[in-house]
Structure 1
Amino acid sequence: MSKSLPEFKYMTFDVVGTLIDFESGLKTCFAEIAAEAEVAVDGEQALTLYRAARYAEDADLFPDDLVRVYLAIAPKLGLPADQKYGERLRDSAKNWKGFADSAAALARLAKDYRLVAMTNARRWAFDLFEKELGNPFYATFTADDTGTEKPDPVFFETVFAYVAAQGHSKDDILHVAQSQYHDIGISRKLGLANCWIERRHAQKGYGGTIEPVEFTKPDYHFTSMAGLTDAVAAARA
């Protein structure tokens, strides 16, 4: 572990899954469609099917891709394979909520660090997520801005270039995320300090996030954003 928490100047954040509870948002929408179709849907099964479909080779950018994903998995869930429901799943992103501790934690951290969002979501969706989180970010990078999605190193290198232009380096960054696949593994390979927020610590499996080929032990590990902010406060004290 190269630095203590107070020594970092930037904290970069994955957004969907770390700060925004997309799994609850998806399960709620699936449940509503199922109720209208008078069928029962298991939320975790829906997430498993979503995960497999989301990472297909013909995937579109997120969350626009939810239309295609819905049409691919609806028959397996016993749901109507209708375009309008796919669009409804996509549009549900407009109402996804932050985790209960996200906004308050970000507000606390913003007092001591430059917070940078790094999201695979498109700009239109991120703008809504950012508002939900209280607009805490110093800078923001979306899939539209970088032209790619994590874990592509290009996404991270775009942020490194931004930080370098401000006279700093990746050594000044702590990357905070819940996805081992999209963030923790690749950040380690790129020599970036990282912090794993294990949102599913009380649940089995990887839910809606693709399973990594191998587990990466993070530099810092908490089960909530509140845990991170408490650790920062203790270290600064």
Structure 2
Amino acid sequence: MSPQPPSGASMDRIRAITFDAFGTIVDTGRDALIRISERIVRDLFLEVDATRFLERWDVHFFGIDHDPFLTIAEASGVSLARTFSELGVDGDPDPYVEMLQAEWQRASPYPEVRGVLEALEGTPRAVVSNADDAMLKEILSRHGLQFDAVLTSEACRSYKPAARIFEAAIRELGVSADRILHVGDSLEADVGGAQRLGMATAWVNRSGEPVKADSPRPNLTVRDLGGLLPALGRTD
């Protein structure tokens, strides 16, 4: 059974907010992966197109069990090597992982993010992200995006939707789980993971993606972060 919104969850109870990073406050992800896949297909003269290549890379990336724990960079290299092996390619994944990291490093916040964070000034807030520590902190610092805490999968040695990274954020914020709103773009990793700890949730559905019947149900769905403000009684 998929997680459901916490019983009695209400936006007027919210005293702190946690945000996912990529796809929620920072605009990056699939486009970078597509560009790197196109480069790989071109460089190695592959007979598959970039979309098909990325599909196979995804299968291997998300199939990693992370025991022992691997960072995003490490998992990208391992999964790319497995994709090369599946396709019978004699290639070195390392240069392409470095290119991918460089693409992600250029990530920028979505247009509404600064205004929303300013409107939420005074509310404790943290980032909870499946990301490598140094890269994410550098992106946030470069764009002047300030949070009370930044919790990454690398630092916590755990990926959402597992509880550990959310529990770390709850401790850092010093607010009970039922008074924290978690905001993210993944129904499984963000909404499902946070709800299991009793947090309220907001799903950022920028692309208008339909909700599957067995997906977790958020307390709030918004097209971008600006939709949080009226729900929280704030103005931009």
Could you tell me the TM-score, scaled by structure 1's length? 0.77
Q: State the distance in 2 between where 1:51 and 1:62 align.
A: 13
Deviation of the 1:104 alpha carbon: 2.4
Find the counterpart in structure 2 of residue 16 from structure 1. Answer: 22
* Structure 1: segments with no counterpart, 5+ residues: 206-211
Deviation of the 1:43 alpha carbon: 5.3
Q: Is the 8 A contact 1:54 1:69 kept in 2?
A: yes
Aligned length: 224
- Provide Cα deviations, 1:127-181, integer angstroms capped at 9, x if missing partner: 23313543221211112332222111122122222233xxx31222100011122
- Provide Cα deviations, 1:14-33, integer angstroms capped at 9, x if missing partner: 11232232112222222233
User: Which of the pair has the greater relative contact order for Cα pairs under 8 Å at 6+ separation?
Assistant: 2
Q: Is the 8 A contact 1:98 1:132 kept in 2?
A: no
Matches within 5 A, 1:44-123: 44-59=51-66, 60-74=70-84, 81-98=91-108, 100-101=110-111, 103-123=113-133
Find the counterpart in structure 2 of residue 236 from structure 1. Answer: 234
Find the counterpart in structure 1 of residue 152 from structure 2. Answer: 142
State which drifts further: 213-222 or 82-91. Answer: 82-91
Find the counterpart in structure 2 of residue 220 from structure 1. Answer: 220
Q: Is the 8 A contact 2:22 2:29 kept in 1?
A: yes
| Aligned-residue RMSD, C-alpha | 3.2
Find the counterpart in structure 1 of residue 3 from structure 2. Answer: none
Sequence identity (%): 19
* Structure 2: segments with no counterpart, 5+ residues: 1-7
Deviation of the 1:58 alpha carbon: 4.8
Could you tell me the TM-score, scaled by structure 2's length? 0.77
